[in-house]
Structure 1
Amino acid sequence: MITIQARTMELSGTSYEIGFRLGKMAGAIPPLKKLHTGGMAGFGKEQAAEAAALFKRWCPGLEEELTGFADALAVPPEQIFYYGMTYLLPRCSQIGVLPGAAAEGRPLVARNYEFSHEAEDFCLVKTSVTGKHTHMGTSVIFFGRDDGFNEHGLSVTMTSCGFPVGPMPYMRPPKITGLQFWAVIRSVLENCKDVEEGLDHLEGMPIAFNVNLMLVDKAGNLALVETLDGKTAVKRLGPGSPEQLFWTTNHAVLPELRALEPQALVHSLRRYEWIGKELKDAGGITRDRLKEILLSKYPDGLSCRFFEEYFGTTKSMVISPAEGTIDLCWGGRIENGWNTYDIREPLAESVRPIEIDPVKADPAEYQFKPL
């Protein structure tokens, strides 16, 4: 068993002020300072300038936040780890339940996030940047968001689509110059009120990560934006659609992109098929049922403990975009408890211990099978 400190944090002010505060916090914790200011090999001033220009165009405010962070730590921008990681290994599962399939008649979003516990912030953040929409979600490398929802009832979550893309040697090299998913998600949450605005905002955005990006709003609209090696496909559903349930794991599900990568990892196919078996014909889906599914142990469930193989459940959540709440459980273990947070309420800052229970994965889970 491994004990980890999970935290909550509320951030408000201008982008620069928020970044400066984060920098001061990181500076007071030597391991955090080392992690966030280590830079990346081959990433220098020229690349940092190119990244800043990309952020200004597609993620307004992010560059000022990173500048405040660098100023607080008295380091040059190119030394900030977020730059190199975002300018261009999660697994994950996500389920969108529209009003027609939900017991409460309002949309719900359920998701598990799988990664390594050593590369997870374990931090829920409520962020109110001056001039932008307030949002709540879990952070990645402080500045990014790997999921969340905003004050207007728009939820954004993701799963990787195919083999993860990134700058590390064990990852798939990006086919285009663009953004990592965590910058994309935060940009949508801070600048869009509903699915329609979200799709407009994403139009033309260079997304280097291969991602299944799911947008759900409080009116019961859902859109999947799927990207693979620079190509994009979109699926839309609404309150009147015959389909009132949609889910993804870690392979392409839209016909336009499936042909580009007609195979998937065994664990992705198993989880995808298991969700369908459990929910496809269920109807009247409740939050409690979604929580059971998220925390049931793989392969007869979605909770995974293979942290050393970057396939451990770091967090599970059920979001109600209409109600403005998130139910969050850390570490994929019911023993860590579910906690409910309301975006309309102040988020009290806290640090508390949670536990994970790593086990070794069967290598067969990482074999590819045809779709």
Structure 2
Amino acid sequence: MRKIDILDFKGSYYDVGLAHGRMINQSLHYQSMLSGFKENLSLEQNTKEIKNTLKVFCPNLLDELNGLQEGLKYTESDALKLFGGYDMPILEMGCTSFITSDYYVRNYDFSPLIYDGSFVIQRHKENDWTCGNSELVVGRLDGMNHNGLTCGLHFVNNDLHKKGFIGSTIVRIVLEMCKTVEEALDLLKELPHAASYNYSLADRYGNFAVFEASPEKTNTHREKESLSCVNMFQTDKMQSYNRANVYSSLERMEALSQISKSQKPVREVHNWFSDQASPVFYTDYEHFFGTLHTVSYVPKLNKVLLTAPGDEPNEIIF
């Protein structure tokens, strides 16, 4: 099982991209993964459209992509198509989150063959940072920023795939551009969504929500005490966009209902998520459904707990 590298970058967005690209050139895992993407995926996007869309929603990412391109010695076209996160094929990932006003706990389930295995910290100025588990270098599967805003993705369906941002790029844009759950909800309504995803959210002020997004329609799901989020839409307005088979999601929702009733502290919930005997921990790695990390974000304390399968939690405090 691939362990998780904690990468801590400082400097401008260009500097971070440059350093990250140079590091990737020394990584056999990254080189193998990216080579497979370039060979097996049809990346025929319009690079001018990618640049123009990023300029509208998150121009800092263009600076980072420029540095990444230089560090990798890629062409601008290859860098934009592979890492820009726009109009790309969708990866069908499994994810489970449990959120309260105090913490956000999450498992990410997929294949170790298509997994960055990197928890990236970016420090651009004093008290200006983001952190999170990366996908395709620039994207984030989940993360938190210096304002305490936390966001993670949950794949739901790919049947209505349209031109738009992939989920991990959307998470990254939210972390770059927003300070609170309310700001994130407003931005998520404006972004072009390529496929159906849940975006689970929490902030430093005790707010939490799940934004249900399809390319056609969106909705916001809230509860008073806690929220559980899996790979299906829960509100009546959005259930017609779910896949036909949501059995695994229903199983996890039932297990999470017991956690909701117990009101356990974050460390206990984190340990339950990362326990291989837990009903929310999966080991079907050959079929792209194995737990690759457990992460807990505590926005009020700027604290993160991160666990790879079989390891002890790694505590990171900002």
How far, CA to CA, are the matches of 2:171 and 2:283 in structure 1? 26
How far, CA to CA, are the matches of 1:274 and 1:340 in structure 2? 26
- Is this contact kept in 2: 1:60–1:187, CA < 8 A? no
Query: What is the RMSD computed on CA atoms of the aligned residues?
Result: 2.4
Give the AA of the match of 1:204.
Answer: E
1:189 maps to which residue?
175
What is the total number of aligned residue pairs between the two structures?
312
1:319 maps to which residue?
297
Structure whose residues are more often helix by fraction: 2
Query: After TM superposition, what 4+ stretches of structure 1 lie above 6 angstroms from structure 2?
Result: none
Q: How big is the shift at 1:30?
A: 5.2
How far, CA to CA, are the matches of 2:97 and 2:229 in structure 1? 6
Q: Which runs of 5+ in 2 are unaligned?
A: none
1:50 maps to which residue?
49
Q: Report the TM-score, using the length of structure 1 for normalisation.
A: 0.77
Of the three residues 129, 137, 143, the one matched with 2:132 is 137
Give the AA of the match of 2:195.
Answer: F
- Post-superposition Cα deviations, 1:292-333, rounded to whole Å, max 9, x if no partner, equal 4303446x52111111111100000221110110111112x3
Q: How big is the shift at 1:213?
A: 0.5
Q: Tell me: CA distance 1:35–1:132, structure 2 relative to 1, closer, same or farther (3 Å).
A: farther
Q: How big is the shift at 1:182?
A: 1.0
Give the AA of the match of 2:75.
Answer: P
Q: Tell me: CA distance 1:78–1:306, structure 2 relative to 1, closer, same or farther (3 Å).
A: same
- Secondary structure, aligned partner of 1:218: coil
Q: Tell me: CA distance 1:219–1:9, structure 2 relative to 1, closer, same or farther (3 Å).
A: same
- Is this contact kept in 2: 1:194–1:217, CA < 8 A? yes
Q: Report the TM-score, using the length of structure 2 for normalisation.
A: 0.89
- Is this contact kept in 1: 2:17–2:68, CA < 8 A? yes
Q: Which has the higher contact order (CA 8 A, sep 6+)?
A: 1
- Post-superposition Cα deviations, 1:94-122, rounded to whole Å, max 9, x if no partner, equal 01112xxxxxxxx1111000010111111
- Post-superposition Cα deviations, 1:214-254, rounded to whole Å, max 9, x if no partner, equal 111111111211012431111245xxxxx211111111111
Q: How big is the shift at 1:86?
A: 4.2
Q: Tell me: CA distance 1:264–1:97, structure 2 relative to 1, closer, same or farther (3 Å).
A: farther
- Is this contact kept in 2: 1:92–1:114, CA < 8 A? yes
- Secondary structure, aligned partner of 1:178: coil
- Is this contact kept in 2: 1:158–1:213, CA < 8 A? yes
Identity %: 22
Of residues 259-268 and 120-129 in structure 1, the stretch that sits farther from structure 2 once superposed is 259-268
- Secondary structure, aligned partner of 1:18: helix
- Is this contact kept in 1: 2:209–2:227, CA < 8 A? no
How far, CA to CA, are the matches of 1:279 and 1:39 in structure 2? 42
1:111 aligns with 2:109: no
1:366 maps to which residue?
none
1:251 maps to which residue?
232
2:197 maps to which residue?
211
Larger Rg: 1
Give the AA of the match of 1:74.
Answer: K
1:128 aligns with 2:123: yes
Q: How big is the shift at 1:208?
A: 1.2
| Structure 1 residues 1-371: aligned runs within 5 Å | 2=1, 4-29=2-27, 32-33=30-31, 35-36=33-34, 39=38, 41-44=41-44, 47-80=46-79, 82-83=82-83, 86-88=86-88, 89-98=92-101, 107-129=102-124, 133-161=128-156, 163=157, 165=158, 172=159, 174=161, 176-237=162-223, 243-261=224-242, 263-276=244-257, 278-283=258-263, 285-297=264-276, 301-331=279-309, 333=310, 336-342=311-317, 344=318
Q: How big is the shift at 1:280?
A: 3.4
- Post-superposition Cα deviations, 1:6-27, rounded to whole Å, max 9, x if no partner, equal 3111122222221111222222
Give the AA of the match of 1:32.
Answer: Y
Give the AA of the match of 1:340.
Answer: E
Q: How big is the shift at 1:132?
A: 9.6
